[in-house]
Amino acid sequence: MSVPMKKFTTPITFLLAIVAPLLIVTIVLRQPRADHQLIETLREKYPVQHKQGADHGQMEILQQDFSNPHEITAACLSCHNERGHELLQSPHFTWEREAYIPGRGITYLGKKNLINNFCTGVQSNEGSCMKCHAGFGWDDKEFDFSNQFNIDCMVCHDNTGTYKKASGAAGYPEMGPDGPDFKAILASMGRPTSENCGNCHFGGGGGNNVKHGDLELALLTAGRNVDVHMGVDGVNMDCVDCHTAENHVMKGKYYGVSSSAAGRLSCDECHTTMPHNKSILNEHSIKVACQTCHIPVYAKVNPTKMYWDWSTATRKKEGKGYEVLDSAGNILYVSMKGDFLWEKDVVPEYMWFNGTADHHLLTDKIEPGTTMLKINTLNGEYRDRNSKIIPVKVHRGRQPYDTENMTIVQAKLWDKEAGKGALWVDLDWESSLVAGMTYVNLPYSGKYDFIPTEMYLPVNHMVSPASEVVSCKECHTRADGRLAALTDFYMPGRDRNKLLDTFGQWMLILSFAGIVVHTIIRVLSYRKRRLAKSQ
């Protein structure tokens, strides 16, 4: 090769050697076009209007004037003659589930007998609590769970939105002229609407959005920005689109009352386990639940209760109970219940969860020195192969406990009459706790105090649009990331070995310093030599 030729070719090949790979890297790095086929299929599948298979308005047996609601159930079951047996097995009716809990064996636990961190528990308060039971007449321990005619069909299947159970009536609706229009209700009977579910599930804990934070009335009217699935300007899905039922047993469960993973509902039943275009995101789903990234905040419209301190209840002003509201109308203090804290747009806390949970039972002893009692325990850890990180609403509070027997004390809160020990009527802890513990037939020393408690409520609803998901950096960051509390694993971007980093930094600093010193000596000695030469 001649020298002048080489002058041209070498820079060109040099440039090519650098530029060509750069080009290739750029091309490869281009984002692939999103494949929206699955999501489009789902978008077409779910907005379909459900038409009823039969017009119940034409059925003769439903045209009578019913004198009590048990007769209505009998009328339903005269055609749907197998459904009654199903309902008798459904947790919506039994309020308990059979589950194996390590250390406890086979248990029959549920809302029926567990305590919670809100209104503490249904036992001794059935008359009021059973306004949300899919049955009629559960007002004490004598309720017959084997009688099909104790089932309430309308509370779930009324499509008029007018059926209502009466307050403090153990699940009965008002009958007669002041009661609901049963003819219209029965004529409308059909697939449960979100309103049916919401009647109870939006109001848990005694008011809209009090308990869950991600389940509330706003879901019936809000847009996609609040919930991509239920948004009225989007797919506008119903609860039962995901929470399907087989023989009246619904899919999906709430781990304030459930213990096993059986019947759990997950996003991948529709979205598959590989819904992302990027495999690194699909890979995350091995250890991170979809909800963790896709529900950046909950309680997006109305606030939810984050703290409930029962210890301050029963205070009186001028001999009477009173309440304190904040500027938005939320109750901050009420003599019946104590102090509350509310929050809106709440960032969840994060926990490992494998789909199994344990509960603190009324019979469980509180370990001496316990500073915080877990009302329920979500099982899981990094090394557990079934565990994923999930977003959790942690509801904190203070509950009464027996300082001698070291157990949580069931309080009696509600009664129709004064003087029966109901806290909400009499505003007296002593008699409330005695009445509650007498009802559940457990020992009570008469000495009580209040203990800090926490309850863990997995957040599954109010899924945000893809544009608002949690970004990488919100977790992969050194300080105050969303997962800062989960320390049982190494996460890139969050974790490092400080010793190694210090070593590395000093190695670099010393290398630079060496170069600088070497350069200075080189320059000085060069100058000295040149000076010597010129002399």
Identity of the residue, 317 or 383, whose beta carbon is nearer to other proteins in the bound complex: 383
Cα distances (Å, whole numbers) of residue 160 to 41, 63, 156? 30, 16, 11
Query: Smallest distance from the beta carbon of 272 to other proteins, in angstroms?
Result: 16
Nearer to other proteins, 325 or 508 (CB): 508
With a CB cutoff of 8 Å and minimum separation 6, the contacts of 234 are 223, 224, 228
Beta pairing class for 304-309 and 323-325: unpaired
CB of 264: closest distance to other proteins in angstroms?
A: 15
Using the minimum distance from each CB to other proteins, give the nearer residue, 29 or 418.
29
Nearer to other proteins among residue 186 and residue 378 (C-beta): 378
**Between 79 and 507, whose beta carbon lies closer to other proteins?**
507
- Of 61 and 521, the one with the shorter C-beta distance to other proteins is 521
Q: Report the distance separating Cα 522 and Cα 535, nearest Å.
A: 20
DSSP states of 133-152 as a string?
Answer: SSBS---STT--TT-GGGB-
In the complex, minimum distance from the CB of residue 16 to other proteins, in angstroms, rounded to a whole number: 9
The answer to whether 410 and 440 are in contact (CB under 8 A) is yes
Contact residues for other proteins, defined by CB under 8 A? 6, 10, 13-14, 17-18, 21-22, 24-25, 28-29, 280, 283, 286-287, 382-386, 471-473, 476-478, 489-497, 500-501, 503-505, 507-508, 511-512, 514-515, 518-519, 521-522, 525-526, 529
Residue 352 one-letter amino acid: W
Query: Which CB atom, from 85 or from 518, has the smaller least distance to other proteins?
Result: 518
Distance of alpha carbon 320 from alpha carbon 427, whole angstroms: 9
Q: How far is the CB of 493 from other proteins (least distance, A)?
A: 5
* Residue 296 Cα distances to 37, 196, 343, 357, angstroms: 25, 27, 15, 24
Minimum gap (Å) between residue 25 Cβ and other proteins: 6
Smallest gap from residue 463 Cβ to other proteins (A): 20
Residue 268 CB, shortest distance to other proteins, in Å, is 13
| CB of 302 closer than 8 Å to CB of 218 | yes
- Return the H-helix or E-strand segment holding 334: strand 331-334
Nearest Cα to 242, choosing from 232, 251, 233, 253? 251
- The CB density around residue 341, as the number of other CB atoms within 10 Å, is 15
